[in-house]
Structure 1
């Protein structure tokens, strides 16, 4: 994890807060081990500068890949991948602070000045890299 000094306005100063997808970011959600594998591959491909990825430490262990607002709808996502940020639905995403106690949410990869969002095309590439024969 990169310890960024970049603190976007939508990231709370302490704890965690709900933010509406489609305003500051769109979110791509992938569950459990698959989400962790995609995040690890994306981080490796970007040499540790993948952009913001939020993980849940409990329940379904969801991974939320935060892409630029309005971009989730521009791509065709594979089965099992959910997108949030379309005008038809209002979805709240939990966003943790960059420091302090944020359990059960945490940053798998933080936003940085050079990667304020996950690049949707790179995320699709990482998803494709996990496809079997």
Structure 2
């Protein structure tokens, strides 16, 4: 399994990333999210990281259950794109439901969540067009 831990600047992190543990954040406010299940999600994340030379933006992995992968996009991005079957989208104007996504801290014990790819100043969000292209392969 591929996992990137981009070297992060100790003085920089998005305000929606908790300082320790993990916290729930509402989609559509600080970010939108695309969710892909299990092995397919891991394959999409690994390919995305490869194409982005290791700096793909924030991808959160659940360590239990269906092992969902959450790809965090800039607010408003999820509704601007058509997504392939099996890809669930959360956030954006016009959603009738409120969805919370668990966000781990950059360091420390965050089980059962972990960063598969961390946000960085250069990639604070996953590139939606690139993700859509990779997820559609």
TM-score (norm 2): 0.92
Q: Which residue of 2 aligns with 1:101?
A: 109
Asked if 1:110 is matched to 2:118, the reply is yes
Q: Which residue of 2 aligns with 1:85?
A: 91
Q: Which residue of 2 aligns with 1:24?
A: 30
Asked if 1:63 is matched to 2:78, the reply is no
Q: Which residue of 1 aligns with 2:16?
A: 10
> What displacement does 1:91 show?
0.1
Instruction: Work out which of the residue numbers 52, 59, 77 in structure 2 matches 1:53.
Output: 59
SS in 2 for 1:73: helix
Q: Give every structure 1 segment of 4 or more consecutive aligned residues whose post-TM-superposition deviation is greater than 4 Å.
A: none
- The unaligned stretches of length 5 or more in structure 2 are none
Question: Any conservation in 1 of the 2:83–2:136 contact (CA below 8 Å)?
Answer: no
> What displacement does 1:128 show?
2.5
> What displacement does 1:3 show?
2.5
CA distance in 2 between partners of 1:24 and 1:97 (Å)? 15
CA distance in 2 between partners of 1:3 and 1:14 (Å)? 17
CA distance in 1 between partners of 2:67 and 2:109 (Å)? 18
Residue range with higher mean Cα deviation, 85-94 or 25-34: 85-94
Alpha carbon RMSD of aligned pairs, Å? 0.8
- The unaligned stretches of length 5 or more in structure 1 are none
SS in 1 for 2:136: helix
Instruction: Work out which of the residue numbers 111, 114, 129 in structure 2 matches 1:121.
Output: 129
